[in-house]
Structure 1
Amino acid sequence: MSHSISTLPLATAALLWAAIAPAAEITLTPRDLFQAAEGLFLAPGVEVPAPDLDRPAIRHAVSGPAADRVRALIADGEAAGFAGLVYDNRDHSHSQLPSALYPRLARLAYAPALQSRGLDYGLAGHILLPAIVFGNSSTAITRSSAPRSLPRLAMTAPGWPERTHRTYVSNHIYVYPEHRDHDAVDHFPAQWPYMIVSQGSSGSDKPFLHALAMTLAAFRPDTRDALEEAGLVAPALQMILRRSLDGVETRDDYLSGRAHPTVFDAGRLRPLRMIEMAASLAPDALPPLVRLTVEAEDFGPAAGLAARDERLYDTPSAIARLWRGHAGRREMVLSARTMPAPRGREVNFRWVLLQGDPARVRITPEGPTGERARIEMDWQPALTQTDPDGQTRRRTRIDIGVFAETGETLSAPAIVSVSFPAHQLRRYEPGPDGTPRLAEVDYDAARRGAPFDPLLYWSAPWRDVFVYAPDGTLAGWTRWGKNGREAYGADGRRLGQVTMRYEIERREDDLPVLRAVPD
């Protein structure tokens, strides 16, 4: 026999309503927003409603040791719980954290006027709240000549690296699926700590949302207040997630690529360990934020035949470069500092190769605390490796993690990435001084069907074979293409003719192709 709420005894009906009523909702309207900069809105007057403490913190439908531990911490008054937390779903409820499971967690909603502008959908970063926000968007760019996941879009679209960093230091963190960008091939041009990228497509983000919700609730009240005030909530979550992964047991494990994959597999999540680590973090032992500065480098603003910028982005905790030029060896000098500076604690910096061929990367720390490092890199071909999740992937990238070490505390990484155009078939040989020099390069990726990111790279219908003088200087090159054999001098002038310049044009299939034209 079934009953409606109205036919139940009043006390029972009240308890049932407390269990199933929707969580508190914050509805943003245009009047709440203040435009602080182009594409950036602040909502300074928005307040997170206090949770109804008569309702359960976590419904029993969320079972297991992790949920039980958070319930116990909250019941004993040792955890901050869900007060002051906001969940932001940005895929129109396609893959959302069900509100009924966390009745004390406030949820963000958008007025129709903001929805019509797309401010409720896709990548987060246009709107910042004065609160701790976590969320997700289980979407991707699919109807485009340059399909990509939202994380790869953020890495390659103008303005988005800076916007994504800003969310990171504003106590906002989001989960996005890698959707076809990290299967047999890792298509990401870089790695960064600004978001969590889940292995898979729609729904692969949900285990991370549960883990984030419970970890945020498990912090001590004074610790979470200190993290929020310092803008360190997202970096602390990144450290806890990575330190808690399956297969990361020791300090050395954390200071290795095992703890810092480009994309996270839900099978490696250990929520209980994340919760215990959050609960044990004291406000005087917060992991600092590492900020990087490029002091010198030979990556430039106009490299390669197309004379395009090699600097993909420079943000405080993530720097990315594209190896467009012909040099076989590159160098960067970087410095690191922490924000805020730890009080009364000595800081040492650790520079760690997370991804790439260790035989082709040399990292030399400098300074009494390792606050500077000289990084020397040789060209490297694509690497095929088996990741900790057991999958074999092809990669064309160097990742270097920079960590601040303060006693027993290790920070989340700042990351330097260098991406190689492996769709070009390059062959290097040792020069007179042992430095690798380019001997031959086949640019014709379109003919070979070699995939490449059309927002970053291009194809050209020729192959160049380089010639060097006895002293090792470039003498010129021979180009093999549709016009047969052509000889070029070191100045780029086709022998007997004029200097050539290069332009990128689009083919009918929308692939960018380089063509040579007389200057």
Structure 2
Amino acid sequence: MQRILYTGMVAFGLAGAGADAADLTLTLDDLTRLGSGPMIAQEIAGLPADPALPVVELADESNAARQLRGLVARGVSQGFDRILYDNRDRDHSTLPSSRFPNLTFLRYATDLVAGSVDYGLAGPVLIPALVFGNSSTAMTSGLHARSLVRHAMTAPGGAARAYRDYVSNSLYMYPEHRDHDAVDLYPANWPYTTISQGSSGSDHPFMDAIAMTLAAFPADTRAALEENGLVAPTVQMIMRRNLNGVRTQASYLSAIAHPTVFSSDMLRPERMIGQAAAMRPDDIPPVVRLKIVEEDFAQGAGLAGLDEHLFTTPSAIARIWRSFAWERQMVVSAASTVDPNGHELRFDWVLLRGDPARVRIEPLGHDKKMARITVNWHNTFVLPSRNPADDQGLETSRVDIGVFAWNGRSESAPAIISISFPTHQIRTYEAPPGQTARLVSVDYDAKGREVYYDPRLHWSAPWVDRFNYALDGTLEGWTRTTGGEQEEFDAAGQPADGTSADYHIVSAPGEAPSLGLMRQGQEN
């Protein structure tokens, strides 16, 4: 059973300005599990709004607060009726309960708290209701220290859970905490979560702006969004469409609107509220759904034979370049995208990050529902700075391609294809006259150079390989230099002296993984 606890006394008239939001406690009895899937809180939803309470605390005289109050007073918007707020850091960085008196705060019973169901990354519980929340936490120690979103991107099943929440009307915000300072350490970009620049508390402006955007939707529009699982994609579009510097459709279809991480100075909450309030059910954009038709990213590539598929979900696809190749290709379809109102869709395929000279996007067919994407190897590069006063931009080793659907009324949120490069390796490519560029050498010794690499995705090895080619460009093998000693290997990576060897990952406790070479007759 749901237990509803009111944390503040509800008075009448203006005295309601001091009222706190209501609490709704989730208990173990509220949860069911279907097969091996998540626990589901099927009957949990936000509480009905009390018209005697203000939509925003009366002490707030900001333009956004006044705007939202006016919309609710005129009956344009329905405020926080049946909206749930899920704080997942045990009130470390939470909305004040007095901020939005009609907002319902989700609480967790003691037994669920003991199992940490309430803490950290969203996903242990699926709540099929309108929910927004945050966790201003990160994995701050150990070899795998990282933000919660990078954890989700690199842990098995993390991307699938993020997509599941995205199309279940759940919006969550997390800080980047050291994953996006001088270097962007994220191996992918996606629309599933909102990542704030900074650490604890940096998510507050986003919670506030997104809360008021949700409260601004007209009742019929919000009902249609919830029914179609389009709340989160639509709010993502609204936030990005109204960022500072995003003034036109062309600027929305550009890198400025779709960074990995968002700074609070980019937000324009008044414009977000305005667009939400003006949206009619017929304006709702679709969620873009992608499918790989063909690709040359493989399940086993590079010396270690590791998978190049980081994740494949309908609105975000991520690949890791492990192959020796100079050029990779994939064909992607967005044909599964359906407009909720049956409108005809136009698709835009946009390079959001990467060298335009090394990425070619070829839309296919008159409707552009498919595209062939060709990418050449990228070394680490620096993004243009948004602030001219900055000394330097952000370093990155990733290409992003955004896919957008336009229904004649609204742009969709992006679906994003990401390709990350192992630039902790030093690779040299050269193009002989009349031939395609080919790999000349690889310095694998990231540990020796004291260069960071993600231990969940990559490895280091204490050698440099220089590649040997026949006159026709066929790879013959390579010469390996390890600590001043040289050894020859054939094109399959086996010692040229006729012995056999296997590559394997070595992971010492507390150390990032290395690649080892076990020769025939050696003990593991």
TM-score, scaled relative to structure 2: 0.94
The structure with the greater share of residues assigned to strand is 1
Aligned residue identity for 2:240: R
CA distance in 2, matches of 1:12, 1:367: 60
CA distance in 2, matches of 1:78, 1:341: 25
User: What do the CA deviations read for 1:305-334 (whole angstroms, capped 9, x no partner)?
Assistant: 011000000011000000011111000000
Q: 2:80 aligns with which of 79, 82, 89?
A: 82
Aligned residue identity for 1:330: R
Aligned residue identity for 1:35: R
User: What do the CA deviations read for 1:173-225 (whole angstroms, capped 9, x no partner)?
Assistant: 10000000000000000000000000000000000000011100111111111
CA distance in 1, matches of 2:476, 2:502: 18
Aligned twin of 2:503: 502
CA distance in 2, matches of 1:326, 1:72: 60
Aligned twin of 1:478: 479
User: What do the CA deviations read for 1:254-291 (whole angstroms, capped 9, x no partner)?
Assistant: 00001000000000100001011111111011010000
The CA deviation at 1:435 is 2.1
The CA deviation at 1:507 is 3.8
Alignment of 1:196-345 (within 5 A): 196-337=194-335, 339-345=337-343
CA distance in 2, matches of 1:234, 1:282: 16
Q: 1:163 to 1:37 in 2, by over 3 A?
A: farther
Q: How many residues align?
A: 509
Contact 1:265–1:389 (CA under 8 A) maintained in structure 2 = no
CA distance in 2, matches of 1:358, 1:203: 36
Contact 1:353–1:399 (CA under 8 A) maintained in structure 2 = yes
Contact 2:47–2:83 (CA under 8 A) maintained in structure 1 = no
The CA deviation at 1:43 is 1.1
Aligned twin of 1:35: 33
The CA deviation at 1:501 is 1.5
Contact 2:503–2:517 (CA under 8 A) maintained in structure 1 = yes
* 2:417 is the counterpart of 1:419: no
Aligned twin of 1:163: 161
* 2:491 is the counterpart of 1:490: yes
CA distance in 2, matches of 1:31, 1:413: 38
Aligned residue identity for 1:228: E
Aligned residue identity for 2:450: G
The CA deviation at 1:99 is 1.1
CA distance in 2, matches of 1:81, 1:59: 13
Aligned twin of 1:456: 457
CA distance in 2, matches of 1:438, 1:464: 10
Q: 1:12 to 1:53 in 2, by over 3 A?
A: closer
TM-score, scaled relative to structure 1: 0.95
Q: For residue 337 of structure 1, give the secondary structure of its aligned residue in structure 2.
A: coil
The CA deviation at 1:15 is 5.2
Contact 1:329–1:376 (CA under 8 A) maintained in structure 2 = yes
CA distance in 2, matches of 1:37, 1:124: 20
Q: 1:435 to 1:63 in 2, by over 3 A?
A: farther
CA distance in 2, matches of 1:41, 1:387: 43
**Which is further off, 382-391 or 156-165?**
382-391
Q: 2:187 aligns with which of 176, 183, 189?
A: 189
CA distance in 2, matches of 1:338, 1:224: 24
Q: 1:210 to 1:438 in 2, by over 3 A?
A: same
What are the ranges of 5 or more consecutive residues in structure 2 without an aligned counterpart?
1-8
The CA deviation at 1:405 is 1.1
The CA deviation at 1:131 is 1.4
The CA deviation at 1:21 is 3.4
Aligned twin of 1:515: 516
* 2:131 is the counterpart of 1:133: yes
The CA deviation at 1:508 is 5.6
Alignment of 1:334-373 (within 5 A): 334-337=332-335, 339-373=337-371
Q: For residue 410 of structure 1, give the secondary structure of its aligned residue in structure 2.
A: coil
CA distance in 2, matches of 1:122, 1:80: 30
Alignment of 1:9-88 (within 5 A): 18-38=16-36, 40-88=38-86
Aligned twin of 1:5: none
The CA deviation at 1:17 is 6.0
Provide the identity percentage: 51
Q: For residue 288 of structure 2, give the secondary structure of its aligned residue in structure 1.
A: strand
* 2:453 is the counterpart of 1:430: no
CA distance in 1, matches of 2:106, 2:507: 42
The CA deviation at 1:492 is 2.1
CA distance in 2, matches of 1:59, 1:434: 68
CA distance in 1, matches of 2:112, 2:425: 44
The CA deviation at 1:344 is 4.4
Contact 2:382–2:396 (CA under 8 A) maintained in structure 1 = yes
CA distance in 2, matches of 1:395, 1:98: 36
Contact 1:268–1:389 (CA under 8 A) maintained in structure 2 = no
User: What do the CA deviations read for 1:348-388 (whole angstroms, capped 9, x no partner)?
Assistant: 11100001111100000001210000000000111112332
Q: For residue 290 of structure 1, give the secondary structure of its aligned residue in structure 2.
A: coil
**Which is further off, 415-424 or 43-52?**
43-52
* 2:115 is the counterpart of 1:117: yes
CA distance in 1, matches of 2:350, 2:254: 7
Aligned residue identity for 1:44: Q
CA distance in 2, matches of 1:364, 1:499: 43
Q: For residue 472 of structure 1, give the secondary structure of its aligned residue in structure 2.
A: coil
Contact 2:326–2:376 (CA under 8 A) maintained in structure 1 = yes
**Which is further off, 110-119 or 122-131?**
122-131
The CA deviation at 1:13 is 6.7
User: What do the CA deviations read for 1:457-506 (whole angstroms, capped 9, x no partner)?
Assistant: 00000000001000110011000003601111223221223132211112
Q: For residue 112 of structure 2, give the secondary structure of its aligned residue in structure 1.
A: helix
CA distance in 2, matches of 1:427, 1:393: 23
Q: For residue 466 of structure 2, give the secondary structure of its aligned residue in structure 1.
A: strand
Aligned twin of 2:441: 440
Aligned twin of 1:407: 408
The CA deviation at 1:168 is 0.3
Aligned twin of 2:6: none
CA distance in 2, matches of 1:462, 1:13: 73
Q: For residue 50 of structure 1, give the secondary structure of its aligned residue in structure 2.
A: coil
Aligned twin of 1:394: 395
CA distance in 2, matches of 1:359, 1:46: 51
Q: For residue 503 of structure 1, give the secondary structure of its aligned residue in structure 2.
A: strand
Q: 1:260 to 1:30 in 2, by over 3 A?
A: same
Contact 2:88–2:120 (CA under 8 A) maintained in structure 1 = yes
CA distance in 1, matches of 2:434, 2:112: 61
Contact 1:87–1:106 (CA under 8 A) maintained in structure 2 = yes
